[in-house]
Structure formats: C-alpha cells, structure tokens
Amino acid sequence: MSLLENISSLSLQEIEAIHSRLLDSANELDEERHKIPLLKSLFSNVAPTLYFMLDQEKEVCDFLKWKFCKITPKVVRDCVKRTGFKMTKKNPNWLGLWGKHMKSIEFRTICIFQKVNHFPGTFQIGRKDKLWKNFSRFQTIHGEKNFNFMPQTFILPNDLCLLRRQWRERKRKWIVKPPASARGKGIKIISSWEELPKKQFLVVQRYIINPYLINGCKFDLRVYVYVSCFDPLRVYIFNDGLVRFATRKYSARTATLSDKYIHLTNYSVNKQNKKVYKQPGMENNNLSHKCGEYLVNSQARRNTKSRYNCHELFGFDIILDSNLKPWLLEVNISPSLQANSSTDLNIKSQLVKDLLNIAGFRLPKFLLPFEISYFGDDFNCSKYFIPNQSLKNAKNLLLKSLSPDDIKILIEAEDELSRSGCFERIFPSTSSKPYLNFFKSCRHYNLLLDKWTQLYMRDTFQPLAGIRLLKSLTDIQV
C-alpha cells in the first residue's frame, strides 16, 4: 500500500492528531534552537543575564547579535559564538562589541541595550605620558608616601630640564619609551645623556636596576583588572596573571643595555630569541592582593555617566624589585588576549568567560527601567556628592534608611559578585575603605557599597545575611 493510500484511509481526527504532533515536534525543535542561556538572579523580580560559556559547554541559541570587528580577539569571538551569538556587520541591534577605544563622541551613538569594552577617557591611564601626569598629580595632592609605587618619570621634551638636573645629581640608567607604543616597540635602555633624543616626544622612566630574579632572569607580571562600573566603582582582579620572562640571564652592566633579551620581558620581543629560556612557574598568594590595592589608586579618578553601556579590561604591568616591592610600569587599555600555548588559552578563555558573565549582558526586553532612566535627567542619588569631612556621619546613616534605588544598587552588586568566577572583587572590599580618602568627593553609591561590604562581607556567613535582607526587601519592584 502506498503512502498516499495510507493517508487517505485515515479519519479526519487521526490526520488532525498527526498534524498536531508534527507541529509540537517542530515547535520543540524551534524552541531548542532559540533557547537563550540565562543566569537567574539571586533575587526575585530581577532580570536574568546572558550566560557565557567555555568550549566544553553547549551552544544553545542562534539569534543573538554581536558587532563584528576585525580586532576582536579570537578567544572573545569563540566565547560569544559558543553562547549563541552571530557576528553581524550591518544589523544595528547588536548587543555587544569588543574593539578599539572610541572617541568620546562615538560613545553617544551606542543604544541603551548595547555594551562596549571601553569607558570614555581611559586613555588617561592607558597612555604612558597621561598615566604619569595623573599619578604625579595624586602625589602632589596626597603625598608621595601614598603614591610611591611608580618609578620616577619624565615627559620629553617638556621635562628635559628637570631630567637633566636629575641626571647630573645621580648616575642612573633610564628606560626610554614612546608614549603610546606597545609590544616593546621603540623601547631602549640608556645610561649616557648623549644617547637621549632631546626633541622627540618620549617617556623617560627610572630603570629598576635591581629586579627580583627567577633562575637569574628578569620578569614582570601582567595583572588583569576588570572594571564593571564606575558609579559605583566596582573593580575586580583575575586570579591568574601572566609571568613574562626575559630569555637571557640578567646583568646590570652598561655593556648589556642594548640586549633586549636581557632587559625586556615582552613576549613579542623574546619569542624572536631562538634559544628561549624555559619559563618556570611562580606563585605568591599575597602578591596579587597587594598589587590589587595599588591598582585602585590608579583608577580612583576615572568615572563615567554610563551604567550599562561600558565595561573594561585593563592589563597592569608590574615588576618586583629585589626587596619584593611591586612597581607599576604601565597600564594597557587593550591588553593582548592572544593565546600562545594551551595553558595560555585555558587561562584567557576562563578570563573572558568570567568577565563577560560579570558584565551582565541582557536582552533588550529585560533591561530594567532603573537602568534606562539612569541615562536621562531623572533624579538619582548617584549625582549627589558628600564632602570628605562628612563621611563618618553619612556612612552611619546609609544602611538605616535605604531608598528603592539603594536597594537596586546593592542587589546589582550582589548579583554581579555571584557571577564573578575566577575574579576577586578588590573594590569595594573589606580592606578598601582607606582608598575612599583619595576620591575628591565621595559619591553616595560608593559610600553605600563600602558600608554594606564592611558590614556583610567580613566573614563566611555574613554575606548570606545581607542577601536574606535584600530578598526581604524585593517586594519593591526592581
């Protein structure tokens, strides 16, 4: 009997039942194909966020849009594709972008539901000359005792006379860098005044002549720092950094200064050395926390009006001297995420996955009215500043009279922390309170989060008490 004869022998009810089952199967397949990976909030009435995955986890949807950019690192592209994003060049309704730093005016074109990987103005710490100018300004305001973790630096040609005076007083070695270069380009170490280009725009920094060595080789640390928000300021440090080694034994002799394999630790430089020294491991559990505290100082003055549109990963380059004192060398606003080994790939895949989960990407329909209104001229506590002399009284009152917006900020911070993976939040933290003194004026939400952290993050059980309190308050629509 043919298929047609089989069908013709069925009753109308049987045909309708088969049709219904076929529709259900098609809907199930379509549902599975369009299922969105979401992370539920700790709190009721709070929108979920998109969940980003590692390679072992399943791709579950195929209609999310991510803005195509040629310079997006492969490890980022792979992560967003696993989560179900499709790269788009023309569709204006993309949710995320990982690209180069934009001009400030370009940030105004970003839609309310879109998120990019830079804040406006972070070149103020990303350029070597700007970083030193801001750092020296803080030295003037708060004293060198508090800001003594960056080698003395001069910006040429403006500081040529000051540098000359230092040169005469102390015989030192100096490292010369272009202000906006990367990957070791244009860097040299000098000890003679005659070697110094006098008219070029350069950064001249005191060379750390006594670096801490491992197996006789110089090294530095790349520490990954992530800022999810500037108001209130929330800063995270990734548990795994990179240790970058020079590939020849260290020597401070003047005759060796031109040997880049002795004095430079950049991977792009040392990979050219055919006799590469095998890089040993290093672990110092206390170091990352100590460096993390220093990192907050460099960020303290940066802020932005945007609460959802921006987030940023920074690469802090730090060197240890022979006394194990960390020195900040520079800050990278587009740290390389290129993976040069399987271990490197595993670390950077975890870094990117956790970073994007902290970022809290949402679908447009899940964007909260609170977040949207932040960009307008609506009243918001975050616009109010509290003079430093009033800090004590203000902090004592903060948690006694929480406004609906206060509750939303605390919920946002707790939810974000629950998604932090291999990142540790270093601001606010139980030890970050002294850094509030370095803010010109303290924003309401920075004080609120500090007080909350001091009260509910001191021991293992207190965070649960804080979450229970917030859950009891979530009958307020958030």
The CA distance from 245 to 240, in Å, is 16
Inter-axis angle of helices 128-142 and 285-299, to 10 degrees? 90
DSSP string covering 410-467:
HHHHHHHHHT-TTEEEEES-TT-GGGGGGSSSEEHHHHHHHHHHHHHSSSSSHHHHHH
Q: How would residue 397 be classed by pLDDT, with cut points 50, 70 and 90?
A: low
Split at pLDDT 50, 70, 90, the class of 281 is very low
Question: Tokens 């700007």 sit at which residue?
Answer: 130
The residue that leads in pLDDT, 301 or 75, is 75
Mean pLDDT for 316-330 is 95
Model pLDDT, residue 182: 66
Q: Per-residue pLDDT for 405 more than 70?
A: yes
Measured between alpha carbons, how far is residue 274 from residues 78, 255, 278 in Å? 31, 22, 12
Start-end of H helices in 36-118 = 74-82
Residues 6+ apart with CB under 8 A from 19: none
Model confidence pLDDT, tens digit, residues 340-368: 888 889 999 999 999 999 999 988 765 44
Q: What is the rounded average pLDDT of the residues 438-449? A: 86
Residue 436 and residue 392: Cα distance in Å, rounded?
A: 12
Indicate the angle between helix axes 74-82 and 342-359, nearest 10 degrees. Answer: 60
Given a cut of 70, whether residue 474 has pLDDT beyond it is yes
Tens digits of residue pLDDT in 385-395:
445 544 455 55
Q: Tens of pLDDT along 220-264?
A: 999 999 999 988 899 999 999 888 898 899 998 988 888 888 888
Q: How many CB atoms lie within 10 A of CB 74?
A: 12
Both tokens assigned to 272: 């050219």
- Longest CA–CA span in the chain (Å) reads 106
Peptide bond into 120 cis (omega under 30): no
Average pLDDT, the chain: 79
Which domains, and CATH codes, for the chain?
A: 123-333 (3.30.470), 404-476 (no CATH)
Give the confidence band of 303 by pLDDT, cuts at 50, 70, 90: very low
Percent of the chain with pLDDT over 90: 40
Q: How far apart are CA 243 and CA 284, in angstroms?
A: 11
CA distance 157 to 397: 51
